[in-house]
Chain A
Amino acid sequence: MQDEGSPLAETDTPFSARVAAIFEGHFQRLFRYMNRLSGDPDLASDVVQEAFVKLYQRGSFPDEPEAWLISVAMNLFRNERGKRSRRLRLLTPERGERTLGDSPSSPDEAAMSGESRRDVRAALERLPERDQQILLLHGEGYRYREIAIALRLNEASVGTLLARARRAFRDAYEEMTGAH
């Protein structure tokens, strides 16, 4: 049971209603973006949920909530990716210990990971991170303005950067697969 006086206890406040609305319309889109970017659905789910937790904790709505959520999710993603890459840090050398980085894929994942997904992933990863972000954010339907705010770019340059990112991605994919 929540404390009296907690902002979260007031479920009828405009804030809660607005969070519910943006969660409804935005959660899946942000998850898809983070999943495409990270290639790790669990990580994507974690960081997107955490971004909404932070929105709740904030207690007030940012001016550009979609861009704010993207930005927060990106920061969480960078932190979490760094943590997971060094997930096991030995305090002192220990025999019999294994690291997590090379853990095998789940059977489901192994079955799903076709050539196409691997090629697309590899082509995407050839792009600089900013180009990946622009490409994927736009692919999820975000407007130039939201992309510019989330990635701290000049809105006028988003179109040029997006065109370049699309071209680079297509070229990388074709180079890898020989497709034209």
Chain B
Amino acid sequence: MHIDEERLLRLLHGELGRADEAEARAHLADCEECSRRLAAMTRDEERVDSLLRALDRPAPRVDLGAIARRADARRPWIPRWAAGVVLVLGLAGVAYALPGSPLPRLVDAVVEWAKGRRDPLSPGAGDPVRPNSSTAGIAVSPGERFTILFQTPNAQGEILVRLTQGAEIEVRAPRDVATFTAGENQLVVDGRGIPATYEIDVPFTAPRVEIRAGEDRVFLKEGSRVTTSLPAGTAPPYRLAIPMPRR
């Protein structure tokens, strides 16, 4: 009785146990048919391997230290205090809801006070056109690194950058103010000379996102570190003026 194909393949691949292999080799020593099949299988194996090698590309040079640093940079940054915040908010909610609590009146007073002031995000005279219901935009996966390039002087106004929990970078502009051209790891925003507010949502999890206006870098997020053209310590959202090109 001859050796079946799977058993021959296991022999060829060194996947038979010691006893099974010895038995198979003893059979092959006396069986011309099985020896011929094994030889054909070996040739076939070499041919398939050779074909598959046509797909190979050189492996990149990767530093293990860089991988370790990336892992380190992504360690959870929401530590135990987050649980404390949730607890405090929960207690505040209970206190707010208790009959006779002074909190509702206090909250109302704060709201009224705030209404008397200008909404920091509302447009005033001469402000750039802001995205509203008539916006256009694009969402893009950040990948390992992503650059958003504003073509100046056509793109004018300001950029409002928010850090979000989302998975994609979202870029919005008032309709008919800008065009977006996507390339690998890059989005080019070209304006029409109309001052506008461009809104960009950047995921917290994006490894590296850079925003440039012409030759100027106005925003860089690398891991959890954010660098902007604003004074150090400025909290998000970041409102960044689009600089005009230097002469």
Which residues of A are in contact with B by a Cβ distance under 8 Å? 2-3, 6, 8-9, 16, 19-20, 23, 27-28, 31-32, 35-36, 39, 41, 45-46, 49, 52-54, 56-57, 83-84, 87-100, 103, 114, 116-117, 120-121, 123-124, 135-136, 138-139, 143-144, 159-160, 162-163, 166, 169-170, 173
**What is the distance, in angstroms, from A9's C-beta to the closest C-beta of chain B?**
8
Contact assessment for A45 and B55 in the assembled complex, using a CB-CB cutoff below 8 Å: no
Contact assessment for B140 and A88 in the assembled complex, using a CB-CB cutoff below 8 Å: yes
Q: How far is the CA of A134 from the CA of B124 in the complex (A)?
A: 63
> CB within 8 A of B74: which of A41, A57, A94, A96?
A57
Residues on the B chain within 8 Å of A95, using CB: 179
Interface string of B42-65 (1 = CB under 8 A from A): 001101110110111101101010
Contact assessment for A87 and B180 in the assembled complex, using a CB-CB cutoff below 8 Å: no
* A contacts with B: majority SS: helix
> CB within 8 A of B137: which of A28, A94, A98, A170?
A94
Contact assessment for A170 and B44 in the assembled complex, using a CB-CB cutoff below 8 Å: yes
Residues on the B chain within 8 Å of A16, using CB: 68
Is B72 on the interface with A (CB-CB < 8 A)? yes
Q: How far is the CA of A83 from the CA of B144 in the complex (A)?
A: 13
Is B127 on the interface with A (CB-CB < 8 A)? no
A90-B138 contact, Cβ under 8 Å, with A98-B181, A163-B5 = yes
A94-B52 contact, Cβ under 8 Å, with A27-B59, A52-B67 = no
Contact assessment for B67 and A139 in the assembled complex, using a CB-CB cutoff below 8 Å: no
Is B162 on the interface with A (CB-CB < 8 A)? no
Contact assessment for B135 and A57 in the assembled complex, using a CB-CB cutoff below 8 Å: no
A56-B138 contact, Cβ under 8 Å, with A31-B60, A100-B182, A162-B9 = no
**What is the distance, in angstroms, from A123's C-beta to the closest C-beta of chain B?**
8
Residues on the A chain within 8 Å of B44, using CB: 166, 170
Total A-B contacts with CB atoms under 8 angstroms apart: 148
* B contacts with A: majority SS: mixed
Residues on the B chain within 8 Å of A93, using CB: 136
Q: Which residue of A lies closest to B175 (CB)?
A: A92
Q: Which residue of A lies closest to B57 (CB)?
A: A41
A19-B56 contact, Cβ under 8 Å, with A97-B179, A120-B51 = no
Residues on the A chain within 8 Å of B69, using CB: 2, 8
Residues on the B chain within 8 Å of A27, using CB: 59, 62
Contact assessment for A92 and B136 in the assembled complex, using a CB-CB cutoff below 8 Å: yes
Is B10 on the interface with A (CB-CB < 8 A)? yes
**What is the distance, in angstroms, from A136's C-beta to the closest C-beta of chain B?**
7
Contact assessment for B143 and A136 in the assembled complex, using a CB-CB cutoff below 8 Å: no
Contact assessment for B71 and A53 in the assembled complex, using a CB-CB cutoff below 8 Å: yes
Interface residues of B in 142-181 (CB under 8 A from A): 143-144, 168, 170, 172, 175, 179-181
Contact assessment for A163 and B9 in the assembled complex, using a CB-CB cutoff below 8 Å: yes
Is B13 on the interface with A (CB-CB < 8 A)? yes
Which 9 A-B pairs give the minimum distances between C-beta atoms? A96-B179, A56-B71, A91-B137, A94-B136, A41-B57, A159-B6, A28-B59, A83-B141, A8-B72
Q: How far is the CA of A95 from the CA of B179 in the complex (A)?
A: 7
Is B25 on the interface with A (CB-CB < 8 A)? no
> CB within 8 A of B180: which of A49, A96, A124, A170?
A96
Is B215 on the interface with A (CB-CB < 8 A)? no
